Chain A
Amino acid sequence: MPSPIRRATRHLAAAGFLAAAAAAAVAGPLDKTECIAPAKPGGGFDLTCKLAQQALADAKAISDPMRVTYMPGGIGAVAYNTIIAQRPDAANTIVAFSGGSLLNIAQGKFGRYGENDVRWLAAIGTDYGAVAVAENSPYKSLKDVYAALKADPTKVVFGAGGTVGSQDWMKAALIARAAGVDPKAMRFVAFEGGGEALTALQGGHVHVVTGDAAETSQQIKAGSKVRLLAVMAEKRLDGDMANVPTATEQGAEINWPIIRGFYVGPKVSDADYKTWSDTFAKVMATPAFGKLRGERGLYPLALTGAEMDSYVKKQVAAYRKMAQDFGLATAPAK
């Protein structure tokens, strides 16, 4: 329990910040902040942390730069366990997570902790699943893939940067299911990451790669000879992906948003949580943030506080059901 004096100081700080639109130097959770990216440098989590780092700095919500530290393992499992067990009340630390992390929580791959063991803070953007083929692939649309699958599932090899049960596998399984093929009969090759999968795609070792729209479009920009067949979103994406049809347009409704956001430890105080939450809400409402987000290839999704919490819980429940439908092991809500 923080002493009454510290509590009073925090309340003063929060009140002061809210009153003044312009940022002034504040004490409390926004002092000497840290963002943990639960992966190796350069991946999606790194991207998420760096986005927050820049956005908060640009909006002068924090006075000293946010540190980014790395804690790889299990798409966030190691960081999750560390925060809950060892730093549950670290108010200055936010941890990046993604839809993939939530999927793993639903499947019990985060150890004995579940979705109720941390405080979900904010979502700063989303990506969407995407289906890519080689430039010279005979498949011109998702419908061609469906047809080929129906004809002979063994002739269509999927590849992705994840193993059975991962997001990318789920995306492929949904495609197979849409084609009327049992996902268990689907051929799937796991690579170390999206990059390697696309390399293999170009080499003809796999025929279809299910990945993330942002990452894939960046690879295409960088020169990869691949083509996007579909995006798994409700409506077409803005920007470079405007002429990529959605999966829904091509016969079956497959939506796969990949949320990117942050959580804090379970014992962070309500006041500190509110400070963070309000800060993010403010920053994400600015047009400057929208620009930053777009630069990083993320699509709009801004949630904080209670709204964020219920989104996460619903998403985890949905993943749980999907995993059960596919016959994968799941962990019950804890």
Chain B
Amino acid sequence: MMVLLPGLLVVAGAESWLAWRTAVEAANAAYDRSLLGAVKAIDASISTDSGGLAVELPYRMLEFFELTASGRVQFRVSTEDGLVEIGTAHLPAPTEPLVTGQPLFVDTTVFEEPVRLASYARVLDRAIAGATAPQRVIVQVAEPLTSRKLFTRRLVAQALWRDFVLVTTAALLLLLAVSWALRPLARLRDEVALRPPLDLTPIEPGGVPADVLPLIAAINRHVERTRSLMEARRQFIDDASHQLRTPLTTLTTQLAYVLREDDSVLQRQALGALKLQLDETVRQTNQMLALARADSVEMVRETLDLGHLAGEVTRSWWSEARGHDIDLGLDAAEGGMHLVRGHAGLLKEALGNLLHNAVRHTPGGGHVTVRVSSGDGRVVLAVVDDGPGLPASELHRAGQRFFRGSNAVAPGSGIGLAIVRSIAERHGGSLEVGTGEGGVGFAASIVLPAQGAG
């Protein structure tokens, strides 16, 4: 409305000016015609029969002119050289040379009264007043401008009034239309305002104008994402608290046993077991925190060479692997061929989790291989072992939070793979699991989009 109203006013102003100009021209056209009639009538009553210039002007005709002009009409008939002159002598001479038979209309003043002056010249039928050849006679008629001005003013006033009515009506209609169209939005606003804070159900788009539907849909999607996020959090808190309850209970029991035991050797043994359990609980807690962090940490990406990263992490796990009597191998080119954009810390943690799983679940004498490969716009970081693996029917559940395979013998929280999955998905990739080489063992692969392909 702020743009529309001034715009309308400007347009109305321009139209009014045009209306005034048109009115002036219309008035002039109309009144000039009648003025020309007067000129022609006077011209018709010019006679040179007596040897001089004579004008027989019926009084009624003059009356008629004065009626239409609503004011005094003055006329002058003279020879072109001005020597013979009848009528009002002080009408201004024509400003430009007269073309015979073509009337000239000008606005001028006679004794300071504004008039419209028509001048007209034609050739006399004979020579008079001592001239050697017939010369032209000039007929001039002047009428006051009052009638025209009144006429013009009235036309313009009408146009202005019309414009005013038009603009006001248009503005009113616009106001009505806009407010009527926006009423569903007002209803929506009230509806949303009245919602309880945790109500995340989609907004009902019924009745709103079609232009607003995409907005409603976007809001609903956003709300849905928030809702599922909150749902996931809630689920996580539920799971986490449930998971921690058990080890903490175990710790309490073990501690109670220690306090009950008098024998110091047995006490030491019991404390040792308690320490193991505590370590495991600490590790579990750390993992859950890591998972929460993986879900929420700010993703600052940089260009990484996954091969180099894999080499780094693998080398740091060698001693651990040897301690478990596991042959840890690396199959990755480190020449910068496996570039991705990602968070180095998160990816190292993911790989660390996979290695932890592999080392823990593979019995002594087994083999674990870290492999990085690229192709089809993807880079794959895989950890393959020849341990017991997962039963085929449970493969699809790998990566679910707190899932532990039914054939798991080593302690674990079931969160490791969930962390890896979360990290992979935050990088726009995925976690794929399957059996190792030859259908034996377990293979976990982080698949990420190669740099430039995601």
Tell me the A residues contacting B by CB distance below 8 Å: 72-75, 77-78, 81, 108-112, 157, 159, 163-164, 183-192, 196, 199-200, 203, 205-206, 327, 329
Contacts and interface: CB of A to CB of B under 8 A. Distances in A.
A110 B111 CA distance: 8
Given A73-B89, A192-B86, A111 B112 contact: yes
Interface in B46-87: 47, 49-60, 62-63, 66, 71-72, 75, 84-87
Nearest to A186: B59
Given A108-B72, A159-B54, A200-B50, A74 B88 contact: yes
B90 interface: yes
Contact of A78 (B66, B84, B90): B90
Given A77-B111, A192-B53, 13 more contacts: A73-B89, A74-B89, A75-B89, A108-B72, A163-B87, A187-B58, A188-B56, A189-B55, A190-B57, A191-B52, A199-B50, A200-B49, A205-B50
Contacts of A77: 89-90, 111
B49 A188 contact: no
A334 B53 CA distance: 36
B111 A111 contact: yes
Nearest to B79: A192
B90 A192 contact: no
Contact of B72 (A73, A191, A329): A329
Contact of B54 (A75, A183, A191): A191
Contact of A74 (B53, B72, B90): B90
Nearest to A326: B59
Contact of B52 (A74, A75, A157, A192): A192
13 contacts: A77-B111, A81-B111, A159-B54, A164-B57, A185-B59, A189-B47, A189-B55, A190-B54, A191-B54, A196-B50, A196-B52, A200-B50, A327-B63
Contacts of B62: 164
Contacts of A192: 52-53, 84-86
Interface of B: 47, 49-60, 62-63, 66, 71-72, 75, 84-90, 110-113
B63 A205 contact: no
Nearest to B51: A199
A75 B87 CA distance: 10
B391 to A, nearest CB: 122
Contacts of A110: 111
A70 to B, nearest CB: 13
The 5 closest A-B pairs by CB, nearest first: A111-B111, A200-B50, A196-B52, A189-B56, A205-B50
B85 to A, nearest CB: 6
A189 B62 CA distance: 13
Contact of A163 (B47, B49, B84, B86): B86
A102 B58 CA distance: 24
A187 B47 CA distance: 14
Contacts of A157: 56
Contacts of B71: 329
A320 to B, nearest CB: 15
B86 A72 contact: no
A183 B113 CA distance: 29
A134 B113 CA distance: 42
B53 A196 contact: yes
A183 B71 CA distance: 20
A205 B49 contact: yes
A163 B57 contact: yes
Contact of A189 (B54, B84, B113): B54
Contacts of B89: 72-75, 77-78
Given A77-B111, A189-B54, A189-B55, A184 B63 contact: yes
Nearest to A182: B59
A137 B46 CA distance: 24
Contacts of B111: 77, 81, 110-112
Contact of A329 (B66, B84, B110): B66
A191 B111 CA distance: 24
A183 B53 contact: no
Nearest to A161: B86
Contacts of B59: 164, 183-186, 188
A93 B55 CA distance: 36
Contact of A196 (B54, B58, B75, B90): B54
B50 A203 contact: yes
A183 B57 CA distance: 13
Given A110-B111, A205-B47, A190 B86 contact: yes
A171 B96 CA distance: 38
Nearest to A196: B52
Contacts of A188: 56-57, 59
Nearest to A189: B56
A225 to B, nearest CB: 14
B79 to A, nearest CB: 9
A297 B143 CA distance: 39
Contacts of B55: 163, 189-190
Contacts of B110: 111
A296 B112 CA distance: 37
A76 to B, nearest CB: 10
Contacts of A203: 49-51
A43 to B, nearest CB: 12
A82 to B, nearest CB: 11
A77 B87 CA distance: 13
Contact of B88 (A72, A109, A196): A109
